[in-house]
Amino acid sequence: MVAVLVVIVAGLVVVRGRMAGDHRAGSSGGRPGAPVAAPAPTPGDEDGPADVTAAPVTARPGAGPALSTASAASPSTGIGSVSPRVAPTAARPRTGPPPGSPAVPVAARPAGPALSLSSTRVDLGDVDSVWRLDLRGEGTAPVDVVIGASPSWLTVVPGRSRIDPGAVVPLVITLDRAAAPSGPIDVTVPVRPRKGDGGGDVRVTARVDGSPQVVSMVAAPTTLYPSGCAPAARVTASPVTASPVTASPVTVSTVTVSVVDATGIFAAELVVNLPDGGRASVSLVLDRATGNRSTWSGPVGPARVAGAITYTATVTDLDGRRSRAPGSLTVLPCPS
């Protein structure tokens, strides 16, 4: 019984396969079982055919006119149509202008002397005091630079007063903050060629906070000896004879501080650090005052041992603003 069922199932599978094959043959446009010629590769084309010549379809007698594979093939089957293979193309290298093309024209220099500035705006802000611009000779002849008037606390100086064609010369701008008035600074300085074209007005801006400025600080003498050294003998020349003179080693120096302030100085003092670790405070005395500039002085020393004396000058103006400056002296061992 089982053998009979197996034979029946196998027969059904065979019949279903034949029906499916007939359906596929009918969808190609030809009669069932009609052979279709495969495309032949073009001689010399190793990668595949570029052009295909379809062979005629052989039909059974009485089946009607034969169809070519190109017209009978269905897009779904892909039989009878072959797309040509396109070879990859290498990217073209970039090339410059062709030989003999005209060069880009360069603007001609102005005839005669001409001057240009790298900038006409300088902002020194709250801190900077020195700035540099560039002057360039733009013409066909050397140009002489003329700087206009400026306040005494602002200097504008070129590196050279004559600039050759094509040369670059620095223009240095310096602000003396110690002498400049407190508050915002806004000054325009003309920079012109003596003859020719170009130049410009350089605008300099800054802000001076108004604190007193220590312009200079000088100690005299700069070398001291410890207190208690025995007097040293030295020879003083005389028109008649040379006689020895005894002199005590110098133990005290005088420190002079010059200050600039628009409002006036209220006090000036020195804080002194001695070689043996001692510390002293010295009030400075006003020597002279002219306009917003004043000079103060006071003693430093003596020291009991050899070493270095360091000190700091502190000046305070009438508004309570302060400025400081350091200094030092040397204390030598007692002379033998």
First-to-last alpha carbon distance for the chain, in angstroms, is 144
**Cβ atoms of residues 296 and 283 within 8 Å:** no
pLDDT confidence of residue 164: 96
Q: What is the pLDDT of residue 301?
A: 93
pLDDT at 32: 43
pLDDT, the chain, mean? 77
C-alpha–C-alpha distance, residues 228 and 233, integer Å: 15
The radius of gyration computed from the CA coordinates of the chain, to the nearest angstrom, equals: 52
- Model confidence over 240-257: pLDDT tens digits? 555 555 568 999 999 999
- CA separation (Å) from 102 to 97, 107, 308? 9, 15, 75
Antiparallel, parallel or unpaired: β 168-175 and 154-158: antiparallel
Sheet holding 162-163, edge to edge: 121-123, 200-208, 183-193, 143-147, 162-163
Please determine whether the domains at 114-208 and 213-235+246-331 fall in the same fold group of CATH. yes
Q: What percent of the chain has pLDDT over 90?
A: 50
Q: Which two tokens stand for residue 231?
A: 């007097």
Token representation of residue 59: 């039909």
- pTM for the structure as a whole: 0.43
Give the integer Cα–Cα distance in Å for 192 and 174.
19
CATH architecture classification, 213-235+246-331: Sandwich (2.60)
Any idea where the domains of the chain sit in the sequence? 114-208, 213-235+246-331
| Mean pLDDT of the region 304-322 | 92
Query: Are residues 124 and 208 in contact, defined by beta-carbon separation less than 8 angstroms?
Result: no
Q: What CATH number does the domain located at 114-208 have?
A: 2.60.40.10
Q: What is the pLDDT of residues 108-123, one digit of tens each?
A: 788 899 999 999 999 9
Q: Assess contact for 306 and 272: CB atoms under 8 A.
A: no
Confidence class of residue 30 from pLDDT cuts 50, 70 and 90?
very low
Residue of 29 and 112 predicted with greater confidence: 112
pLDDT band at 161 (very low <50, low <70, confident <90, very high): very high
